[in-house]
A and B are shown apart, each in its own frame.
Chain A
């Protein structure tokens, strides 16, 4: 009995002791989201729970910095702060509005590559209807791996937003962009 216990300890301990890897981090988030999705709560309850879960895993600053590109250096601290807050809300709304589209499926972890403080994790979303390759890009901040970009079938979230936001910034500046974002949020909240 004691032997069994020691064996269990030996087998179990590395998992506890090892620092979390990018894959652990993404898996933790994915498992959390799936647990909520597969529960039988109302869509509204699911939204609230998922919103709390996902935010912990995002590197909001890295994400925003890459979305703004060259404009990151041009914005004032206040503008950047407001941008980050609006951006996260827009992303949340966008993805949370699609909760009802989910109808089962699982995530397979294909490959993890780490170099210094950056990592790329290849995963595949597998459902009865289709397989979708999903790639996560992570950055290590203060010992924690945070997601700053997601590529779905080769289409990068950051790049897509950057391409349209930069165009608006170029034509209308920060004021124009922030106003548009606020308007959009109001519109999205109405449904």
Chain B
């Protein structure tokens, strides 16, 4: 049995390393082909473009435009208010009490759920043609499921130095040049956009946990599990929402700006 497991790990890691390397030489070849003898000049040009792009917010006139459109602001603010109350008076107090459970145990629970949702990341990496990432996520899934005791330990990150890379269908759409669309604040879930909310629905079809539960558990049981997962997550968080609320003039606006930029950065990665 042990030999079989070892062989599996070896196989998956070889496959993913293969994929990772298969990608790199390809890229470097194409770079030198494109640039040819004028490599330095082209490199400078690339650099300039890259640099100017990073400085694009210096065109101040244009950039006073909003980061994300918000035609439903009134409604969004209503949901934001609702979430704030649910968070402050229900979820957060429970999460705080739940912190008596030792941190490593809570981290393990969070790892377990994260490992279960690996297929979402594998599918989306593939859809974005990031095959090396898909390979790495596949390796992570096998390594963590087998060595990491069913996903409780993120062994791939800890000992294999293969960190998790978040990919979801919202990002996939972004890679396909679909804009974020209007900003949406979802009940319980918080900041989102039309694109990303749609992505969430699409991703649920690739999430083994969601698929399995929707067949075998009733609605109430599923909600309980989701709440439990949220509370476990919140217990690990260092009051980041409270800090934003304390420090910003208008938390709604600040979170909207943060969300929009965060998603753009994720799509680019």
Contact of B258 (CB < 8 Å), options: A72, A155, A162, A187: A155
Do A154 and B262 form a contact, CB below 8 Å, given A115-B48, A164-B253?
yes
* B249 with A168: CB separation less than 8 A: yes
* B250 with A164: CB separation less than 8 A: yes
Q: Whole-angstrom distance between the alpha carbons of A31 and B269 in the complex?
A: 29
Confirm or deny: A180 has a beta carbon within 8 angstroms of a beta carbon on chain B: yes
Question: Which of A33-41, A75-83, A92-100 is the contact stretch?
Answer: A92-100
* A155 with B265: CB separation less than 8 A: yes
Which B residues touch A70, using CB under 8 A?
Answer: 60-61, 64
Distance of A26 from chain B, by nearest CB (Å): 16
Q: Whole-angstrom distance between the alpha carbons of A117 and B51 in the complex?
A: 13
Q: Whole-angstrom distance between the alpha carbons of A187 and B66 in the complex?
A: 28
Confirm or deny: B256 has a beta carbon within 8 angstroms of a beta carbon on chain A: yes
Instruction: Give the interface size class of chain A.
Output: 35 or more
Q: Whole-angstrom distance between the alpha carbons of A168 and B63 in the complex?
A: 16
Instruction: Give the interface size class of chain B.
Output: 20 to 34
Closest to A69 in B: B64
Which B residues touch A156, using CB under 8 A?
Answer: 57, 261
* B248 with A162: CB separation less than 8 A: no
Q: Whole-angstrom distance between the alpha carbons of A137 and B51 in the complex?
A: 11
* B243 with A98: CB separation less than 8 A: yes
Which A residues touch B33, using CB under 8 A?
Answer: none
Closest to A170 in B: B64
Which B residues touch A135, using CB under 8 A?
Answer: 54
* A69 with B249: CB separation less than 8 A: no
Q: Whole-angstrom distance between the alpha carbons of A181 and B249 in the complex?
A: 7
Distance of A118 from chain B, by nearest CB (Å): 6
Do A160 and B64 form a contact, CB below 8 Å, given A154-B264, A184-B249?
no
* B256 with A163: CB separation less than 8 A: yes
CB within 8 Å of B: which A173-191 residues: 177, 180-181, 184, 187-188
Interface centre among B61, B246, B260 (most CB of A within 10 A): B246
Q: Whole-angstrom distance between the alpha carbons of A135 and B48 in the complex?
A: 17
Q: Mark B96-118, 1 if CB is under 8 A from A, else 0.
A: 00000000000000000000000
Which A residues touch B63, using CB under 8 A?
Answer: 69, 159, 162
Which A residues touch B58, using CB under 8 A?
Answer: 66
Confirm or deny: A61 has a beta carbon within 8 angstroms of a beta carbon on chain B: no
Which A residues touch B249, using CB under 8 A?
Answer: 164-165, 168, 177, 180-181, 184
Closest to A164 in B: B253
* B51 with A115: CB separation less than 8 A: yes
* B60 with A66: CB separation less than 8 A: yes
Confirm or deny: B219 has a beta carbon within 8 angstroms of a beta carbon on chain A: no
Distance of B38 from chain A, by nearest CB (Å): 20
Confirm or deny: B266 has a beta carbon within 8 angstroms of a beta carbon on chain A: yes
Contact of B265 (CB < 8 Å), options: A93, A137, A154: A154
Q: Whole-angstrom distance between the alpha carbons of A187 and B262 in the complex?
A: 28
Question: What are 7 of the A-B contact pairs (CB < 8 Å)?
Answer: A94-B247, A97-B243, A113-B51, A154-B264, A162-B63, A164-B248, A168-B249
Q: Which residues of A contact B (CB under 8 A)?
A: 66, 69-72, 90, 93-94, 97-98, 101, 113, 115, 118, 120, 131, 135, 137, 149, 153-156, 158-160, 162-168, 177, 180-181, 184, 187-188
**Additional A-B contacts beyond A97-B243, A163-B260 (14; CB < 8 A):** A66-B58, A70-B64, A94-B247, A120-B54, A135-B54, A149-B57, A153-B262, A154-B262, A154-B265, A156-B57, A158-B57, A159-B63, A163-B257, A168-B249
Q: Which residues of B contact A (CB under 8 A)?
A: 47-48, 51, 54-55, 57-58, 60-61, 63-64, 66-67, 163, 238, 243, 246-250, 253-254, 256-258, 260-262, 264-266, 268-269
